[in-house]
A and B are shown apart, each in its own frame.
Chain A
Amino acid sequence: MSTIVAARPLPREAAAEGAVSASGLVRRFGERTVLDALDLEIAPSEFVILLGQSGCGKSTLLRLLGGLDRPDAGTVTVPRKRAIVFQGDRLLPWQRVWRNVTIGLRGRDPRSVALAMLDEVGLRARADAWPKTLSGGEAQRVALARALVADPALMLMDEPFAALDAITRVRMHDLVRALRARHRSTMLLVTHDVDEAIGLGDRILVMRDGRIATDHPVGLDLEQRMRGAERDRLRARLLDELGVSSSLS
């Protein structure tokens, strides 16, 4: 059930359900080398956060993993059933909310499937609304529902909450945790928000110079993710690696 997004075939064991594997990825745009021999392994059902300054190539990597772009060198192996949540909601304004959720869905009675999924994101009541009448947070929740409705093996999220206000973002984090408890998809979330990374991820990867620079497993429970010495230490390290002096923030 995996697609190989490159010319060279890959060994079978790399194609385990939900696993992501990338090796030697290179992507250039003109003179600029954005990804420089990048390697990445993600285990099935793992929630990995990709952290980096803007312009470090995190979105480029996500587009390669999503199959939206091809590498100049190297290979990517990802599950065929995958979904992407973009920074913008990308809802079709001319389709009602529930029809947006089922845009990629096949099978009988799509409406009841959509309603059940919208229920999970707390938007069942807005199923028949036009997308333009939704708030930013509601629209992004619909986008989450659209991504999860087909039960993808891999879910890629490209700064999905960056455009939302702080309070809405915290609510979205709660929602993602709740969804995560039900859907065991492998998840990769790209962000530049350190608190978001600590709040959600099993593992945080920091990207620099077109490669994965550091790899931090987050062995904290929810309470520890919110406050405490361990969290503060991790936060300070991440900020330091991002080139931000922790005393400033």
Chain B
Amino acid sequence: MATNTDPLITVGPLVIPRRRRSRVTAASADAAGGSGRAVGVELEMFSARPAGGRASVLRRLRSPLGIYTTPLVLLVAWQAAGWAGMLPAAVAASPIQVVNAGVHLWRVGEPSTLGQDLEVSLTRAGIGFLLGASIGGVAATFAGLGRVGEQLFNGPVQILNTVPFLALLPVMIMWFGIGQGSKVILIAIGAGVPFYLNLFAAIRNVDQRLIEMARVAGAGRWRLIWRVLLPGSLPGALVGLRFALAYSVLGLVVAEQINANSGIGFMIAQAQDYDRVDEMFLGLAIYAVLGLTCDQIVRVLERVCLSWRPAQSVRA
């Protein structure tokens, strides 16, 4: 128990502010320790929050775009710096220049247009992610549900997890060539390993008391899996999904910049060769948008799949 010797000092809202206290002491000295004590207790009153009204309007005005407020402010400042001539052409491009570069590449890109590059990159990342997440997901489900699966899959995945997956790229290229195969497989490993680990842990961490309850109530094996284990592991699975998407993009970037002849990473590498700062920034901006989109997808999934959780409103 905490040493709570002086409640006047430790009890939060009832503490008498320094200024008031000295006045009270003076008053009670006057009254010779008389009836002046009640003066010292400050009251706090709570009433209903104004619904809709002024407060929410103020809050909306203060940050109209939520978490995107700061990035947007930075973007505007960046453009202003461009207009003011503070951005040397060899160092950075202003946002409008980046957009122009995008429009230009979309129309007349060489050797491929921006649209084609985007398509190649998204296909790579998409196939790699789906491949990794589905293999990792199925393996993790088997491993989570039984000893045999655990003994079969946990070892290899743990080993893969200790090797930084980007270091596998040279091996992948040697085995699968410089085409689409090596890149897709690298991305699949990057996505599959964290998804497996998170899903496996999530299934194993489902509350034992709930599993016991379901068994006692008479739920069979399949019902236990569908109604208890898999929904119970969903929060952890979504964490895994977030990692898997992030690592897919990471794998995409590395695979495309090291050995490719198309895709966004190739576009950036080419821009570097031709000193096109605006195109380099365009590539970075596309990666950023890709990452943000992935994040939003997971957020929406969380809101839909985890609607049973209370306090969803806390989310930003």
- Give residues in A with beta carbon < 8 Å to B: 66-68, 82-84, 86, 88, 90, 92-95, 99, 103-106, 130-133, 146-147, 150
Contact = CB atoms under 8 A, between A and B. Distances in A.
Contact of A150 (B209, B218, B228): B218
Nearest to B232: A94
Contact of A105 (B210, B212, B218, B232): B218
B75 to A, nearest CB: 40
Contacts of B127: none
Given A132-B308, A133-B310, A104 B218 contact: yes
A195 B89 CA distance: 86
Contacts of B217: 83, 103-104, 146-147, 150
* A contacts with B: majority SS: loop
A103 B219 contact: yes
Given A106-B218, A130-B307, 10 more contacts: A83-B216, A92-B210, A93-B308, A93-B309, A94-B232, A94-B306, A103-B217, A103-B218, A104-B214, A104-B216
Chain A CB within 10 Å — which of B216, B219, B306 has the most? B216
B231 A94 contact: yes
Given A90-B210, A90-B213, A104-B214, A132 B310 contact: yes
A94 B234 contact: yes
A93 B306 CA distance: 10
Contacts of A146: 217
B171 to A, nearest CB: 41
Contacts, number: 61
10 contacts: A90-B213, A92-B227, A92-B232, A93-B309, A94-B234, A94-B306, A95-B227, A95-B308, A103-B227, A150-B218
B223 interface: yes
Interface in B152-191: none
B264 to A, nearest CB: 39
Given A94-B232, A95-B227, A103-B223, A130 B213 contact: no
Nearest to B207: A90
A133 B309 CA distance: 9
A143 to B, nearest CB: 9
Nearest to B305: A94
A66 B227 contact: no
A92 B310 contact: no
Given A66-B216, A105-B218, A92 B309 contact: no
B218 A92 contact: no
A68 B231 contact: no
A146 B227 CA distance: 15
